[in-house]
A and B are shown apart, each in its own frame.
Chain A
Amino acid sequence: EVQLVESGGGLVQPGGSLTLSCAASGFTFRSHWMHWVRQAPGKGLVWVSRIRSDGGYTSYADFAKGRFTISRDNARNTLYLHMNSLGAEDSAVYYCVRDRSAITGTAGDNWGQGALVTVSS
C-alpha cells in the first residue's frame, strides 16, 4: 500500500522558514516524480512544485520561485520542501503527492494526508 506521511508543519512567524518532509513507502520511490500541492482552508488546490524521479529537474509555481526549494533523498525515500520568507498567504495544508509516472510528471495518483502550515505572529 502506498503511504505518504508529511511532517514538519506548524506555526511559524512571518518572514520565517520551515521544512516539510514526506516519508514515502509501499512503492519504488525513485521511480516517480513527486509534487507538493497546497490548499488554504476553504479554498482550492494550488500546485507548488515538482521534482523528477532522479532529483535532476525541478519546477515551481511563480509564488514559490526563489523562496521554496523542493528536494528528495531516494536512499531515504523522503521528499522535502524547504520554505523561506513565509507570509500569511502561505498558510495552508501542504500535500505530498506521488505522480503516476516516472516520465511525465503531470498527474498525482496518491496524496498524503497533508501538513498544516500556519504563518502568524
Chain B
Amino acid sequence: QSALTQPASVSGSPGQSITISCIGSTSDVGGYNYVSWYQQRPGKVPKLLIFEDSNRPSGISDRFSGSKSGNTASLTISGLQAEDEADYYCSSYTSSRIVVFGGGTKLTVL
C-alpha cells in the first residue's frame, strides 16, 4: 500500500496559478474516478476541496479544480491568494478496496 506521490513543496505569487501533482498507478488513481483533494491550514482540520477527480463540494471556490490523466491526478489553484497557504493532500480509492493518501504538498504563497 504505497502512498501516492506528491511534490513536497510548491510555491507561487499572489494571482498566479499553481498545479500540484499526485502520481499513483493503475491500481488506484488510474483505475478509478475516486481521487479526492484536501486542504489543511496550519492548526486546522483537513477540508475536502475535490471529490471524484474533479467535483467540488458546495461552498468550495471555483479557483480550485481537479483533473486526471492516466495515473496522475492534479489540483490546480488559480488566482493564488495568501489564504491558500496550506498543506494539500490527495487520496484515492484502490483495488484493495481501501483508501490511500499522498504524502502531502506544502504550498507557500510568496
Give bound CA distance, A107 to B48, whole Å.
Answer: 8
Asked whether any CB of chain A lies closer than 8 Å to the CB of B89, the reply is: yes
- Please indicate the chain A residues that have their CB under 8 angstroms from the CB of B46 in the complex: 37, 45, 95, 108, 111
**Total count of chain B residues near the partner, CB < 8 A:** 27
Asked whether any CB of chain A lies closer than 8 Å to the CB of B100, the reply is: yes
Chain A residue at minimal CB-CB distance from B36:
A107
B45 touches A112 (CB 8 A): yes
Asked whether any CB of chain B lies closer than 8 Å to the CB of A85, the reply is: no
Render A27-66 as a binary contact track against B, CB cut-off 8 A, 1 for contact.
0000000010100000011110010000000011110000
A106 touches B36 (CB 8 A): yes
A47 touches B48 (CB 8 A): no
A45 touches B99 (CB 8 A): no
Chain A residue at minimal CB-CB distance from B57:
A109
List residues of B (64-99) whose CB comes within 8 Å of A's CBs.
Answer: 87, 89, 91-93, 96-99
- Please indicate the chain A residues that have their CB under 8 angstroms from the CB of B3 in the complex: 44
Chain A nearest CB, measured from B5 CB (Å) = 12
- Please indicate the chain B residues that have their CB under 8 angstroms from the CB of A45 in the complex: 38, 40, 46, 89, 91, 101, 104
Asked whether any CB of chain A lies closer than 8 Å to the CB of B61, the reply is: no
Ranked nearest first, the 7 interchain pairs of A and B with the lowest CB-CB distance are: A107-B51, A44-B104, A106-B34, A111-B45, A107-B36, A47-B99, A106-B93
Supply 12 further A-B pairs (C-beta < 8 A) apart from A35-B99, A106-B52: A45-B40, A47-B91, A47-B99, A50-B99, A60-B98, A95-B45, A106-B92, A107-B36, A109-B51, A109-B57, A111-B45, A112-B45
